[in-house]
Structure 1
Amino acid sequence: MSRLSPTAFGLALPLAVMSQAALADLTPSEVWGDWRQYMEGMGYGIDASESQNGSVLTVADIRLNMVMPENAGAMSMTLGTLEFVQNGDGTVSVVMPGELPMTVNIAPEGGAEPVTVSMRYSQTDHAMTASGSPQEMVYDYSAGTVAFTLDRLQVGSETYGQENAKVNIIGTGFSSSTTMAIAEIRSYQQTGKIDSIQYDIAINNPTEPAKVKMNGSVANLTMDGGGIIPLVISDAADMAAMLKAGFDVSGLIAYGAGSTQMDVEDSENGNFSMSTTSDGGDLGIKMGADGLAYNGSQNNMAITANVAGLPFPIDMSMVKGAFNLSMPVSKSEDPQDFAFGITLGEFKMSDVIWSIFDPAGQLPRDPATMVVDLSGKAKLLVDFLDPDAAAQLASEQPGEVQSLTVNKLQLDAAGAKLDGAGDFTFDNTDMTTFPGMPKPVGAVDLSLVGGNGLLDKLVAMGLLPEDQAMGARMMMGLFAVPGSEPDTLNSKIEFTEEGQVLANGQRIK
């Protein structure tokens, strides 16, 4: 698993502060002072000019600087001007201009060319207000529209404008509310919504033959999250240290119907286009000392693609697509939970594609489904997110799987259906019974419906030689027994404490 990019993490932090107002107090100077303390705690150096005029504190020429770890060079960012206004009701308004220009300069080491990114954060009908108490502050933000626009990208001596590198992202109907409690740590809870997002992206590198255009939209985004952020972070790129300091965040984004259109114009390799639609889905993340977890789903997704060299479009659809992944990240003597799952529900492809390998229509063309749902416990022997973990992984065993549960295994396609479930434990002190892996103890139950019928069809179509089909039938006869229904096979594969492998009670090892 890749570690978080220091540059990406560094860019995200100041933008997050501006968009959801992470910290605040009830006077302008204290609001800005706490913002400044927060960003300095994240490793930024800050330069700005401050001027007070009555109830208004103006902070101009804001510049953030950071020396990135691992000899990655330095980064600086300019954020323009902000105003902090004391209201008569004891709240503080944070006033940003309608257009806030931002410039990011990255000066890498090792001879790499410097990069300058110039962009604009634009908003209309916007308001940001802090209320509550110093111990528990509530920030409310709303805007009619918000937008990010890439104006210019400079790499070394080469400058690219929107004709070469275009990124326009516009959101409408934006609102959020963040409650921040400050004590020995910072904890927050946040909710938000965006009525719609539209994006328009184009890449035209003059030195490359391919020109890429992508645009699309998504509706009804909602956000719900919270977590704990340490008061001082010495190295934002060292996630292991941040987790030990108490960093723990989680969030869920849900979204409605959306569509994307991508076009690639390539004079050397041929053109490509793809369009997708979906009825929405969700994406969740959790990161803390207890582990890292992702989950997501998408409903009623459809894809149409035109590929150079193919005389027909590729049409596919799926009623449900989902995944989940959770894993420990911190070294521990105690077993920790892990899980993995993927669902491809009711997958269909067009008759044109089917006809390539089944022109006579001998195979059932019912929607196909695949489900894999695994969970278990493992002991992690290294801090997975530690910057030195890569060196440790090269010389040390990263962990030990203690147990594995196959909650569900399902493959339903072309008229055949395979189902399975089982439980295993692993003896990590015995690496000889099954050379190179810990000894498993447990069993898995499998059932296959329509397997012989599928083999007959594949032979009739000429896709499978008869002798190979005969070999497959012999293997099924060795590992399975007939079920009560026609063309049904059942199998119980057991791994015993003595190191034996049994198929339906018959020893095969």
Structure 2
Amino acid sequence: MSRLRSASLCLALPATLIGQAAWADLTPAQVWGDWRQYMENMGYTIEAQETAEGDDLTVSDVTMRMQMPEDGGAFSMSIGTLNFVQAEDGAVDIRMPEDMPMTIDIAPEKPEDKPVSMVLNYGQTAPQMTASGTPEALQYDYTAEAISVTLTGLTVDGESYGEDRAKFNLTGSGVTSRTEMTVGELRSYSQTGQIENLQYDVLMDPPDEPATLALKGGLAQISFDGSGELPVLDAADDMAAMLRAGLAFQGGFSAGAGNTDMKVSDPENGDFGLISTSGGAKLNVAMGPEGLAYDGSQQDIAVDVTAAEMPFPIKFSMAETGFNLKLPMKKSEELQDFAFGVTLDQFKMSDMIWGIFDPTGQLPRDPATLVIDLTGKAKVLFDMMDPEVATRMGDQEPGELHALTVNEVSLKAAGAAFDASGDITFDNGDMETLPGMPKPVGVLDLSLVGGVALMDKLVSMGLLPQEQAMGARMMMGLFAVPGEGEDSLTSKIEFTEEGAILANGQRVK
């Protein structure tokens, strides 16, 4: 995990330069000095030559280096020359070069692994950055006609790969950002930004592999915003220490229409292709002492897949797909909240796919929808972000489940609808009532509409053996009672304090 965090710091550096290139007072010397201190606190070694020219400051031959832990390699970035110019209104103009090369060297962890070296160029067209405000309330404004990250060199085990075998090109146009911050024991910041259009073009022809991957696509109208607090520590690769010291951030990303075109050329196993489009996307991320949280969604998705093994394209679409995840990460004797959710709304398949298993059209082909919405409380037994603790855990469980709320679990497909909801608590001091798991206490309410009719159709189509259908009907008879409408079943499953399990008031355990 520590290697991943270090790599993330390296790859996030261009964004740092865009939005937070200075954390300082409003003189050129202080702007550069505090920016340097910030990067050194993040684990970088800075090399540079400083030349004062009146109130202005020129910093030349700027190089940033980081040694990744666990013999994971090294990262370096040549920024070139930075000019910090005192403006007449008291602001500081920060002038940067348009090209800044980055080098990443990855040393092998195992003898059979191969060393990798790559050079990426971070480019800017007509960049402008200004620091303004007061030392207690700083504001940084950045604009650029375009930004880019381009792979300019790749060497694997001493063999060089040209653009015909390895290509990575990410370009964005119409870039703006604003960062506001205060500096004290913690560095507090808020940031907003926009990119009018983002395009990517990737090619991978790995050694010793027959397949070649080509990936192209783009997003329109990207916007982002975020805020957080960064501790001043010489331990940027120790996420657990950063969290204990007050690290916290939250941010959101949204985009308009997007598209992806992926092609895999494989002479041994056959070619593969995927074309997808979407009408928009959102992603929110938060991390702090209370844990980690994600939620995201994508609208109006259409996917078209072709594969050598398939005689026709696989096409499907969804009105929306979404997910949410909230995980406590810090060890505590107190119970902490968690959440998990998935939404697949209005899923549609092409008639060609339906025709594989339902050629006569016996099943309703209405769009399918799946919703899972779970929340609960758990006790975390280890600091999840501490790699040393994670290594010592072994086979031990990372936490204890104490409560689960089924806000909604629903599935609508092929003319049937299933729903579930309920609340259950768990006694982790009793692992005997249900061997191997804590004793549950609570109620689950279940309902199924159209299930019997769906089973009958599946039996007549030969997709469900008659004996399995009979077994399912027997289970329904034991655990369910008729509902209000036709072909409707309901069930109330109760887990009692005494350890019994009841189905609609009848004891089944």
User: Would you say same fold, with TM above 0.5?
Assistant: yes
Using the TM superposition, give the Cα deviation of residue 17 of structure 1 relative to its aligned residue in structure 2, in angstroms: 2.5
Give 2:507's aligned amino acid: R
Displacement of 1:55: 4.1
1:479 aligns with 479
| Counterpart amino acid of residue 47 in structure 2 | D
Paired letter, 1:97: P
Matched residue, 1:100: 100
Measured in 2, the distance between the counterparts of 1:9 and 1:347 equals: 35
Q: How many residues align?
A: 507
**Which residue does 1:12 correspond to in 2?**
11
Give the counterpart letter for 1:474 in structure 2: M
Q: Which runs of 5+ in 1 are unaligned?
A: none
Q: Percent identity?
A: 54
Alignment of 1:327-338 (within 5 A): 327-338=327-338
Q: Which deviates more, 488-497 or 51-60?
A: 51-60
Are 2:80 and 2:97, in contact at CA under 8 Å, matched by a contact in 1? no
* Cα offset, 1:206, TM superposition: 4.7
**How far apart, in 1, do the equivalents of 2:394 and 2:105 lie?**
34
- Secondary structure of 1:388 counterpart: helix
Structure 1 range deviating more: 61-70 or 152-161: 61-70
1:233/1:242 contact within 8 Å kept: no
CA gap 1:241/1:73 in 2 versus in 1, 3 angstroms: same
How far the C-alpha of 1:395 sits from its partner, in A, is 4.6
* Whole-angstrom CA distance in 2 between matches of 1:460 and 1:392: 55
Distance (Å, rounded) in 1 between the aligned partners of 2:175 and 2:154: 28
Q: Distance in 2 between matches of 1:77 and 1:161?
A: 21
Superposed CA deviations along residues 184-216 of structure 1, whole A, max 9, x for unmatched, are: 110100011111111111112353211111111
Residues 404-426 of structure 1 show CA distances to partners (whole Å, capped at 9, x for unaligned) of 00000101001100011000001
Shift of 1:66: 2.4
- Tell me the SS of whatever aligns to 2:268: coil
In structure 2, C-alpha distance between the alignment counterparts of 1:135 and 1:91, rounded to whole Å: 14
Q: Which residue of 1 aligns with 2:182?
A: 181
Superposition pairs for residues 66-465 of structure 1, below 5 Å? 66-107=66-107, 111=111, 113-234=114-235, 236-465=236-465
Which SS does the other structure have where 2:394 is aligned?
helix
Once the two structures are TM-superposed, the CA of residue 466 in structure 1 deviates from its matched residue by: 1.5
Shift of 1:13: 4.8
Paired letter, 1:164:
R
CA RMSD of aligned residues (A): 1.6
Give the Å deviation of 1:78: 2.4
**Which residue of the partner structure matches residue 489 of structure 2?**
489
| Corresponding position: 1:46 with 2:16 | no
CA contact 2:406–2:420 (8 Å) conserved in 1: yes
Q: In structure 2, how many angstroms separate the alpha carbons of the residues matched to 1:451 and 1:353?
A: 22
User: Aligned partners of 2:335, 2:407: CA distance in 1, in Å?
Assistant: 19
Letter of the 2:344 partner, please give it.
L
| Cα 1:504–1:293 shift into 2, 3 Å | same
Q: CA deviation at 1:445?
A: 0.3
Contact 2:171 2:200 in 1 (8 A): yes
CA distance in 2, matches of 1:461, 1:51: 82
- Take 2:366 and 2:468, find their aligned partners in 1: how far apart are those partners? 26
Task: Name the stretch that deviates more: 470-479 or 92-101.
Answer: 92-101
Q: Does the 8 A contact of 2:78 with 2:100 survive in 1?
A: no
User: Does the 8 A contact of 1:340 with 1:375 survive in 2?
Assistant: yes
Distance, in Å, in 1 between the alignment partners of 2:2 and 2:447 is 40
Q: Which amino acid is the alignment partner of residue 36 of structure 1?
A: R
Amino acid of the structure 1 residue aligned with 2:8: F
**Counterpart position of 1:27:** 27
The letter of the residue matching 2:19 is: Q
Deviation at 1:217, TM superposition (A): 1.2
Structure 1 residue 109, shift from structure 2 partner: 5.9
CA distance in 2, matches of 1:244, 1:89: 40
* 1:110 Cα deviation from its structure 2 partner: 5.5
Q: TM-score, normalised by structure 1?
A: 0.96
Q: Which amino acid in structure 2 is aligned with residue 208 of structure 1?
A: E
2:38 counterpart SS class:
helix
Alpha-carbon distance, 1:42 to partner = 1.2
Write out per-residue CA displacement over residues 205-248 of structure 1, whole angstroms, 9 at most, x where no aligned residue.
353211111111111111010100001232x2221111001110
> Shift in Å at residue 11 of structure 1?
0.2
- The SS at the match of 1:397 is coil
* Matches of 1:107 and 1:79, distance apart in 2: 24
Q: 1:101 to 1:203 in 2, by over 3 A?
A: same
Query: Secondary structure of 1:329's match?
Result: coil
Moved more, 42-51 or 346-355: 42-51
CA gap 1:258/1:139 in 2 versus in 1, 3 angstroms: same
CA distance in 1, matches of 2:73, 2:221: 39
Output the CA distance in 1 between the equivalents of 2:12 and 2:39: 8
Cα distance in 2 for partners of 1:53, 1:106 equals 40
- In structure 2, the CA distance between the partners of 1:279 and 1:409, relative to structure 1 (3 Å rule), is same
Task: Tell me, yes or no, if the aligned pair for 1:61 and 1:78 is still in contact at 8 Å.
Answer: yes
2:390 match: secondary structure:
helix
Question: CA 1:27–1:62 in structure 2 vs 1: closer, same or farther (change >3 Å)?
Answer: same
Q: Deviations over 1:130-166 (max 9, x none)?
A: 0012222100001111111111112231112222211
Question: Which region of structure 1 is more displaced relative to structure 2, 296-305 or 205-214?
Answer: 205-214
Aligned-residue offset at 1:40: 0.8
Work out the CA distance in 2 between the residues paired with 1:7 and 1:466: 57
Give the match's secondary structure for 2:433: coil
Residue 353 of structure 1: SS of its match in structure 2? helix
Question: Is contact 2:261-2:276 (8 Å) kept?
Answer: yes
- Take 2:3 and 2:175, find their aligned partners in 1: how far apart are those partners? 28
State the AA in 2 paired with 1:501.
I
C-alpha deviations, 1:11-41, integer Å up to 9, x for none?
0353232121242331111111111100111
Give the deviation of 1:4 after TM superposition: 6.6
CA distance in 2, matches of 1:3, 1:267: 38
Q: Which is further off, 166-175 or 147-156?
A: 147-156
Do the aligned partners of 2:10 and 2:75 also contact (CA within 8 Å) in 1? no
Alignment partners' CA distance in 1, 2:395 and 2:71: 24
Q: Give the TM-score of the pair, scaled to structure 2.
A: 0.96
Q: Are 2:295 and 2:323, in contact at CA under 8 Å, matched by a contact in 1?
A: yes
Alignment check: 8 A CA contact 2:381 2:398 kept: yes
Range with greater deviation from structure 2 (266-275 or 204-213): 204-213
Residue type of the partner of 1:75? F
**Cross-structure match for 2:61:** 61
Deviations 1:289-323 (A, max 9, x none): 10100110000101001001211000010111000
Equivalent pair of 2:75/2:103 in contact (CA under 8 Å): no
8 Å CA contact 2:132, 2:138 repeated in 1: yes
Shift of 1:50: 1.6
Change (3 A) 1:148 1:154: same
